[in-house]
Chains A and B, each alone.
Chain A
Amino acid sequence: MEKIKVKICVGTSCFVMGAAQIQTLEFNAPADIADKIEILEERCMNLCKELHTKYNRGPFVRVNEELIEEATYEKVVAKIREVLQKQSCK
């Protein structure tokens, strides 16, 4: 099965605001998802510039094509599990 692409924004704003710490997924992802994901670094997606509140909505992470705002490790893991669940239902 194709791996789920987890694109972590590494623009300066997202990186400083916590994307750096979400990168722990590369090293200690939970066992149930570890071999089903591919962690990628994404250059600034300019999302921080479009929104009124700027960086406050970062860090941004995309799980496949779904965007997560104010991403945290927890949120990203939950989204990955959700996507996996949907895939297994199909």
Chain B
Amino acid sequence: MLIPKNNANLMRTKILIKLVESYLHDKFDNADRIPLDLRPKEGASSRCCVYKDRAVLKYRCMAGLGHCPEEETDELISLREYGKQALERTHAAKNKLSVIDIACSACIKSQYVITDVCRGCFAQPCRLNCPKEAISIINGRAHIDPEKCVNCGKCYEVCPYHSVVKIPVPCEEACPVGAITKDEKGKEHIDTEKCISCGKCLASCPFGAIVERSQIIDVLREIKETDHRVVAMLAPAILGQFPGSVNNLVGALKQVGFSDVIEVAVGADITTQKEAAEFVERMEQGQNFMTTSCCPAYFRAAQVHMPEVAPHVSSTKTPMYYTAELVKKEDPGCIAVFVGPCLAKRAEAEYDPNVDYVLTFEELGAILVASGINVDECPEEPFSKVSHAQGRQFPVTGGVAGAVASLVGDKVEIRPEKIDGLTKESIKLLKRYAAKGSENNMLEVMCCEGGCVSGPGCIALSKKAARAVDAYAQTGEQLTPDTKIG
């Protein structure tokens, strides 16, 4: 989902680095300089002028500090002040994706348009196939009446000259559940009741207008200003995100100030064991299919948008849940921080008392850069708990189903199917399976195409990351249903 060669992504990373630097340097005393540093007067602007760029940057910085731009009460509150407020928080602010309204370009409503390529042909398939009689021929060229058009796309499909184009609204197109829509001014708004926190809108907006609250400052505050032990739980998609070995990274995290580092792949091993057992039980009861439950965006989509699919979702908990449980059992007073590729994990963490904060790989990267830590120069340190091949393969599409299948044995037949990416189409497919039954009985659903390695919080290219994940899984020992974990 991370679109390479994208200025909006790069700017987000720079903002996070600047914020961490500002915190480390003088606890935000000079934070109001950040938008100026990032958009100096003499430089080029990306919107109408540097001043608007800076105004947008201020809002993006706000989000980086854990505030929601939509909740601004006074435009004069400075970034310094927002920074100080961030340091007063003792718990993560409620996760929320929101739109910076001045950055939202209010893209024109999604529509089909007939271009100059139209030849005004004799066959006129566009006009004849339009179910709403919205197309007429004016001055020898087809024309769509926007009042009648229902955006079905029939004309687009049948035009022999490809003269019909669809003008999309990228965020609305990307949102699998229709949670982002326009207000009367054409600006986008996110309905938090419908939102599944997947972050697809954020990744797709060409204007960088969608932000989410970061917890980066909260985590740094816990490390630097409290005597809590702060434990990092590294999602298995971490492989390939930072050049250097995964053990170098453990060393790097210790330098940042984390007291311990544990792989979430260990929790994924537990998920594998329990989900395999649950699968056997469900199939023996004669159920038609079961779906995985580890993707939090899908899990919430099933609860909110697909009530007919929800009973098929495995009740096994996620790798993050089991990992945090292990961590808190051993050290109840510690602060547990999940570090992963996923934005929806922030929402999941709100329901999990064992998880205190969630960071993305990008945010961890910003901390490392601002602290001047080069991962592959850090001493290699081992993980205290060893993960297995199965848990390590979770973040690549097919990995979860494969792991579960390897433990099901021959008690029941397992026919896995990958639903690689949650989209409007795949949601329809899942609903159809729930209504009419499915050929395959083990459905792995990943919201991000390609799996967690394509998550919106990733740094590395998903292709390269997937290779690194596979290579690491190869080195792991095989899990059995009775392997003792932790």
Contact = CB atoms under 8 A, between A and B. Distances in A.
Interface string B394-432: 000000000000000000000000000000000000000
B148 interface: no
Q: Which 9 A-B pairs have CB atoms at the shortest separation, nearest pair first? A: A16-B365, A10-B243, A21-B4, A24-B4, A73-B5, A12-B375, A13-B369, A12-B374, A20-B460
Contact of A24 (B242, B373, B461): B461
Nearest to B464: A23
B61 to A, nearest CB: 17
Contacts, number: 72
Contacts of A81: none
Nearest to A19: B243
21 contacts: A11-B376, A12-B242, A12-B243, A12-B252, A12-B365, A12-B374, A12-B375, A13-B374, A15-B242, A16-B242, A17-B13, A17-B14, A17-B17, A21-B2, A21-B5, A21-B9, A23-B460, A24-B4, A26-B464, A44-B377, A54-B372
A16 B369 contact: yes
Nearest to B463: A27
Nearest to A13: B369
Chain A CB count within 10 A is highest, among B4, B17, B362, for B4
Nearest to A58: B369
Contacts of B365: 12, 15-16
A16 B57 CA distance: 19
A72 B463 CA distance: 19
For the residues of A in contact with B, the DSSP-based class is: helix
Contacts of A26: 464
Interface of A: 10-13, 15-18, 20-21, 23-24, 26-27, 41, 43-44, 54-55, 72-74
Chain A CB count within 10 A is highest, among B5, B6, B374, for B374
A18 B10 CA distance: 7
Interface string B39-51: 0000000000000
For the residues of B in contact with A, the DSSP-based class is: helix
Nearest to B361: A16
Contacts of A13: 368-369, 374
B13 A16 contact: yes
A44 B4 contact: no
Given A12-B365, A13-B369, A17-B369, A27 B461 contact: yes
A23 B243 CA distance: 12
B341 to A, nearest CB: 13
B366 interface: yes
A44 B368 CA distance: 14
Contacts of B362: 16
Nearest to A15: B243
Contacts of B464: 20, 23, 26
Contacts of A18: 10, 13
A73 B377 CA distance: 26
Contacts of B320: none
A17 to B, nearest CB: 7
Contacts of B244: 12
Given A11-B374, A44-B376, A17 B5 contact: no
B175 interface: no
Nearest to A18: B10
Contacts of A17: 10, 13-14, 17, 369
A61 B323 CA distance: 39
B220 interface: no
Nearest to B2: A21
Interface in B236-271: 242-244, 252
B459 interface: yes
Contacts of A20: 459-461, 464
Given A12-B369, A17-B369, 5 more contacts: A12-B243, A12-B244, A15-B459, A16-B368, A43-B376
